[in-house]
Amino acid sequence: MDRGKRLLRLYETLERFFGDLHWWPGETPFEVAVGAILTQNTNWANVEKAIGQLKAQGVLEPRALYGLDDETLSNLIRPAGYFRIKTKRLKAFLEVLCGDFGGDLERMLGGDIQQARQRLLAISGIGEETADSMLLYAGGRPVFVVDAYTRRILARHGIIDGKLPYGEIQRLFMTQVPRDAGLYNQYHAMIVETGKRYCRTEARCGECPLRRIARPGREDRTNPRRAGSKAKGRATCSFGKKS
């Protein structure tokens, strides 16, 4: 089975297990964009605390946030960790958003996708995963997000070499899986949930929904279904406890 078909098999199996995850958490696109920066090198529970403090102060809005002095902003986002670094990154992002786009995030993330992506990558502290998270989850653009869970799950299932560059993994998804923002949103959300719950550094393969999807050359008895179907059940995969 080629890699494209195996990627679709993973999607179908995970969707039967998880259903629609309605991801990413955030009440507005701007909140999602801020969260994409704050979640760097920390877990989402810490980001939620920082977001909560910004909301409590009524500053979770582009111009209000940009108008805060660095010390005040750092104190508000302290729960997210690396708060001084993230203050600089938020301010760099807000400088472009407010200075070049009048605080209009939709316009900043709109237009040609590659131009919008390069615009984000040019901002200090915004790398590929953060930029793509903003484009997909805040902008609704069909760009696949690659994270550590994506790399780990695909490598453990023999779909990629674990050292494959970000861009090549992303290109694999975007050439083999239909280009649809909703599908990419759901797929990445399910990868994150699988990684958090089962495909950890010390894998929980016996419980994993992917445990019956074998590496190439191994027996695979799962019954594939159309990607995007809402079928119920607990289809399952995996094969070992690698880091």
Secondary structure of 118-136 as H, E, C letters? HHHHCCCCCCHHHHHHHHH
Mean pLDDT, range 11-16, rounded to an integer:
96
Is pLDDT at 162 greater than 90 in this prediction?
no
Lowest mean pLDDT among 57-61, 156-160, 207-211, 227-231: 227-231
Please state, rounded to an integer, the average pLDDT across all residues of the chain: 88
- The DSSP string of 63-125 is HHHHTS-HHHHHHHTGGGSSHHHHHHHHHHHHHHHHHHHTT-HHHHH-SSHHHHHHHHHTSTT
Is pLDDT at 218 greater than 90 in this prediction?
no
Q: Which domains does the chain carry?
A: 29-138 (1.10.340.30)
Mean pLDDT, range 5-23, rounded to an integer:
94
Q: Cβ distance 30 to 64 under 8 Å?
A: no
Is pLDDT at 229 greater than 60 in this prediction?
no
Q: Which of 167, 120, 115, 113 is nearest to 141 (CA)?
A: 113
pTM over 0.75: yes
Q: Cβ distance 1 to 9 under 8 Å?
A: yes
Residue percentage of the chain with pLDDT more than 70: 87
- Position 226 scores a pLDDT of 38
- At residue 39, φ and ψ (nearest 5 deg) are -80, -5
